[in-house]
Structure 1
């Protein structure tokens, strides 16, 4: 397993070992012991999700306000551009993002610890995602961040995404109050 750090604290790109031959391939997508020892992922996963989206669909940027979820994201079919945004106002990387291509061909996974907003756009005809979560989904706790927030300036690889009405109406980064420098110890 290859672990790559990113510019955001705790956000990792994981490349599982893939065993391929003329019959196809095998890979282990999660092992609690291995992911704890090699990637430092110690939080328990309590919910698995699976989604399918068509070309140029953009989902996100989503988060839970008081019960943040860590997510281990994998693509089982197709290709996506996956994004993590630091939404912790006290963080030195507040408002920064990491974007990475995940696909069935590169087998990469993205680990987002709790405290990040998450979104993705589909680059292939369709894409299937599976992701493990460290907390349950709570509809009354969900929040969203505008995919096109000028303060974030995310370099999405598509120009005209297909959005849900809810994802098209999220507020920008201004919804988070960042403490001023004088308020810091």
Structure 2
């Protein structure tokens, strides 16, 4: 997972994976079949381990605003670590690449859209519970705050500090609908 996260899908070779996993090529191929399958398993692991910040924020917050702000800040904290890869593996692993890797990009795009849908559901819950105005456009808000989250990942990969990421979050929260 960390190898794909640090180097991206196309930047990671089978030899890199053999070295990271401490196995030989035949074992790697017999267990996973191909590089794309290893990557898909790495993404599933990433979602289980690193995705906790988002799912916990959205499920445990008392209000939809608190859910969004906590989601952004907890991810910013995780993105700006000094050890290990910075940013989000799902956002950074394969935005561009060779045509033969379109399946990987589509897989990651679907993963990001699932995250946006999860946020949209939490915002709809906020409307139902009365902490978000009924006039709020949950599709627009989910798309906007998902884009902010993805942008934080890119900023972190470029070396932004947690302080800078929080400054961006402060500005993004100013867009929250008045209620």
- TM-score normalised over the length of structure 2: 0.27
Select the structure of larger CA radius of gyration.
Answer: 2
Structure having the larger proportion of residues in strand: 1
Structure having the larger proportion of residues in helix: 2
